[in-house]
Amino acid sequence: MLKKVLIPKSKKVIFIITSVVAVVLLLVVASYFLPQIVDNETHATSSKKFQGFIEAQEIEVSAQDILKHKTRPVRLKIIRKLDVDEYDEIKGVGKYDYLSWSYYEALITYDFSKNKTLDESIIISQFGNEEWQMKGDPLLGIDQEYVMFLIQNKKTDGYWGAYLGKESVYDIVKEKDGEFLYKRGIALPIPNNEKYYKMDKKDVVTTNPENPVAYSQKITKTDLVALLKDQKNSTDVK
């Protein structure tokens, strides 16, 4: 036989209030942690396979657009690609940037603007990720070296990026005849050198066979130094 237990009215009120408070606290805690759990599950289960190209409005770019803009031309080596969880630690990176951007730890070994050898660690950004990329601009390769014309959108940002993306990037390729710079995007004019290894958009497979780079130019470090010197002289004259 069940025994009926009588609870005083005052205790009933306290019990009801306590229950309501407990439910409210539970909902608050759940609302805080649930989005984080969903985000983590999304990151963990998302496919890392290449899905396709990012649809973006194309803009006309000239060689002068790149050369006249104040940038920092450097040689660097990509050390590693940062994990999504590390993005929050980079100053200036947005909450949802992982959806369309990749960030790398890189080491600057030479600054052409200062003619100086360096050992400077920085963070590099690139538009695109494993799943979605700009056509002709696959992800940067780990342990690969590049020459980039770098900029910072804000001086307070904790990362750098290539000005206009692939338009300011050279892949450094070592061949039997020496070391060459393969230009992504538009070719840049080499002063006093009509034969600056023009390439007819020859596709070369890099980090993604489904999105090879269409290189426009193949030059030497000497050619690049001459280009930068010529640009500096023309700027000084003005």
- % of the chain exceeding 70 in pLDDT: 72
Residue 37 falls within a domain, yes or no? no
Q: Kindly state the average pLDDT of the residues 83-91.
A: 92
* Selected residue with higher pLDDT from 203 and 185: 185
Residue 14 falls within a domain, yes or no? no
pTM for this structure?
A: 0.75
Residue 202 falls within a domain, yes or no? yes
10 pLDDT above the threshold of 90: no
**Residue ranges making up the domain that contains 204:** 61-237
- HEC string of the chain equals CCCCCCCCHHHHHHHHHHHHHHHHHHHHHHHHHHHHHHHHHHHHHCCCCCCEECCCCCCCCCHHHHHHCCCEEEEEEEEEECCHHHHHHCCCCCCCHHHCEEEEEEEEEEECCCCEEEEEEEEEEEEECCCEEECCECCCCCCCEEEEEEECCCCCCCCEEECCHHHHEEEEEEECCEEEEEECCCCCCCCCCCCCCEEEEEEECCCCCCCCEEEEEEECHHHHHHHHHHHHHHHHHC
Residue 81 falls within a domain, yes or no? yes
Confidence of residue 13 (pLDDT cuts 50, 70, 90): very low
Residue 22 falls within a domain, yes or no? no
Residue 233 falls within a domain, yes or no? yes
Residue 82 falls within a domain, yes or no? yes
The predicted-structure confidence for 157-201, as pLDDT tens digits, reads as follows 999 999 999 999 999 998 888 999 999 988 888 887 665 666 765
Residue 143 falls within a domain, yes or no? yes
**Count of domains for the chain:** 1
Q: What was the pLDDT predicted at 201? A: 56
